[in-house]
Structure 1
Amino acid sequence: MPGLSERERGECKKMLSVMSKGDLLSLSDTVTNKMIAVENITEAMEAILAYTKDAEELLKRKKVHRDIIFKYLAKEGVVVPPNTEKHQLVKKTLQFWSFGKVLADESNENRLQLTETASESTERKVEPGFDPLALGQQFCQWFFKLLNSQNPSLGQQPQEWGPQHFFPDAKLRLLSCAEGQRTEEFEGAELVSLRLLALARDERLLLNPNLQPHGLRALVSPHGLVLVAVAGTIHRDSACLGVYEQIFGLIRSPLDDNSWKIKFVNLKIRGRDAVGGAEMAAPALTCDSKELQLLCR
């Protein structure tokens, strides 16, 4: 019996740790054909990991529910549409375990040190060959993994969130279209970071970006301002509350090892009543490149 690799054991253990005691004991009985008696969660997990033939077999077990795999992927920064079926989630998980991916500099994962496609230029202006869309994808993977980690419902250790990811004069404009329309505006790295933190930590919202072509757009100004626009769905626990569109303005900070920092954030939230079912499944951006270009001025 080939069994699980060391990496697969570690990742499976993360997934099993969020299951209920009853489901774990039942899964242990299934995997061991009731030949191994277990008395607690720790023994059940060890039996499951020891007697599982391969990772795919474990992920396909009925007790490993679709929501468990989805939340695991969200914690690890692997973005998938919220309506993805279980067999697709299993495939995505196996690919992630086989190849993995780097969302940020591993030596300092809580800082946004993203690699340009052309060169590691220390200049504020963008070099020829720079791909703003590639940066946008990396940034969104980094940002939403970091923000969602603050959500206590995910049961994970929060990553290092704070004003250090923003410029001192950063601005946030938050427009909410749910049960009426409300606009909030904040200025300063501390206030902006605290308001965004409250979305995840206090309001327990989980923001799931749509990184497919119709959900993500990015462009760059001649002076180095990169605009990243992304659409996505908003969740609380297992409920989908609505959709959002978010525009980030990013600039390299020469005083902070040339890392990218957030200059401004525009966030528009729409509740379920304001959108249709198809849009809820795969939200698309409503702003076009011309509208983004106006923000570069």
Structure 2
Amino acid sequence: MSGLSETERAGFTKILNLMTNSDLLSLSDTVTNKMIVVENMAEATETILSFTKNAEELLRRKKVHRDVIFKYLAKEGVAMPPSSEKHQLVRRTLELWASVKAADGQSIQGESDQSRLQQTTEASSDSTDMSAGVGFDPLVLGQQFCQWFFQLLNSQNLSLGQPPQDWGPHHFWPDVKLRLLSRAGSEQMEEFLGAELVSLRLLALTREERLLFSPNLEPHGLRALASPHGLVLVAVAGTIHRDAACLGIFELIFGLIRSPLENNSWKIKFVNLKIRGQDALGGTEVTAPALSYNSSELQLLCS
């Protein structure tokens, strides 16, 4: 009988799916001391999960490569510096699983991230006037929103080999505006208006350009504040990757407003995205970028 919790099993299933077939078969041999011959990858996965007594021990095995764990965390919306060593990635994965287990027995597969996001924000504030909502914490909303958003956007990157989640214009207000400022060599400014165009332009970043966004959800990489009129601003910094390469950093500001017609779920009113390529950074270290916006600059956007 496996010693893994449901959360750990679900996480390991995703990690094992990212491994090469030869590594997976070799891992199955190691875990079972070659006592069980498996016929296919599905059997190998099931055998590894059944014979593993301890999550940390399995994560530390040689065949579970550092890059596989890094990719798994990125898919789960967990930002790690590209230079992280394997033991740091292992520790962060175990923390992630422990936090899911602790989350009030919430089922890991059961509900969609969107409904989880909705419930947390509804729990934070029953009134639509968020500034008056007792105990409403914009930062909690900001963290949950960023985890949901980047997991959704990154899933559209087909090089990750995972099924794309439900991306589309329905996550945005009809009059949403996107400002995209990119500095890689020369400076380029693009503006898009309307849910359809904004949704397609952001989708192109991950699907066509194969970018992967890794947000820094630590305190210096994330800020959030609420205006008295119901607008919540979430600003986040992070790194941008393609395959194994770190291409640069990004800063993203979302304006979020509840939609009373759709169960009070949050929808995106505007997006300001700044991207700086490595060459525009002048060789500075980009492991966990901090936001350059301060609170007063964000206040101006609120007004």
Q: TM-score, normalised by structure 2?
A: 0.89
C-alpha distance in 2 between matches for 1:90 and 1:229: 28
C-alpha distance in 1 between matches for 2:194 and 2:170: 11
Deviations 1:18-47 (A, max 9, x none): 211111122222222233333532333233
In structure 2, what is the equivalent of residue 41 of structure 1? Answer: 41
Percent identity between matched residues is 69
In structure 1, what is the equivalent of residue 244 of structure 2? Answer: 238
1:240 partner amino acid: C
Does the 8 A contact of 1:110 with 1:159 survive in 2? no
C-alpha distance in 1 between matches for 2:243 and 2:41: 24
1:56 partner amino acid: E
What number of residue pairs does the alignment pair up? 297
2:88 partner amino acid: Q
In structure 2, what is the equivalent of residue 8 of structure 1? Answer: 8
Does the 8 A contact of 1:225 with 1:296 survive in 2? yes
Distance 1:54 1:221, change over 3 A: same
In structure 1, what is the equivalent of residue 61 of structure 2? Answer: 61
Pick from 262, 276, 285 the counterpart of residue 291 of structure 2.
285
1:22 partner amino acid: S
C-alpha distance in 2 between matches for 1:73 and 1:25: 23
Equivalent runs, 1:122-201 vs 2, <5 Å: 122-123=128-129, 126-201=132-207
Structure 1 or 2: larger helix share?
A: 2
Distance 1:42 1:33, change over 3 A: same
Query: Shift of the alpha carbon at 1:146?
Result: 1.0
Query: Shift of the alpha carbon at 1:58?
Result: 0.8
Query: Shift of the alpha carbon at 1:107?
Result: 4.2
Distance 1:185 1:103, change over 3 A: farther
Query: Shift of the alpha carbon at 1:14?
Result: 1.9
C-alpha distance in 1 between matches for 2:190 and 2:132: 32
Does the 8 A contact of 1:229 with 1:246 survive in 2? yes
C-alpha distance in 2 between matches for 1:149 and 1:204: 11
The 3-state SS of whatever aligns with 2:91 is helix
* Structure 1 gap segments, 5+ residues each: none
Distance 1:124 1:189, change over 3 A: farther
In structure 2, what is the equivalent of residue 261 of structure 1? Answer: 267
Output the aligned Cα RMSD: 2.4
Does the 8 A contact of 2:216 with 2:238 survive in 1? yes
Distance 1:3 1:172, change over 3 A: same
* Structure 2 gap segments, 5+ residues each: none
2:17 partner amino acid: S
Does the 8 A contact of 2:2 with 2:51 survive in 1? no
Q: TM-score, normalised by structure 1?
A: 0.91
Query: Shift of the alpha carbon at 1:130?
Result: 2.5
Larger deviation, residues 114-123 vs 175-184: 114-123
Query: Shift of the alpha carbon at 1:187?
Result: 0.2
Query: Shift of the alpha carbon at 1:276?
Result: 5.0
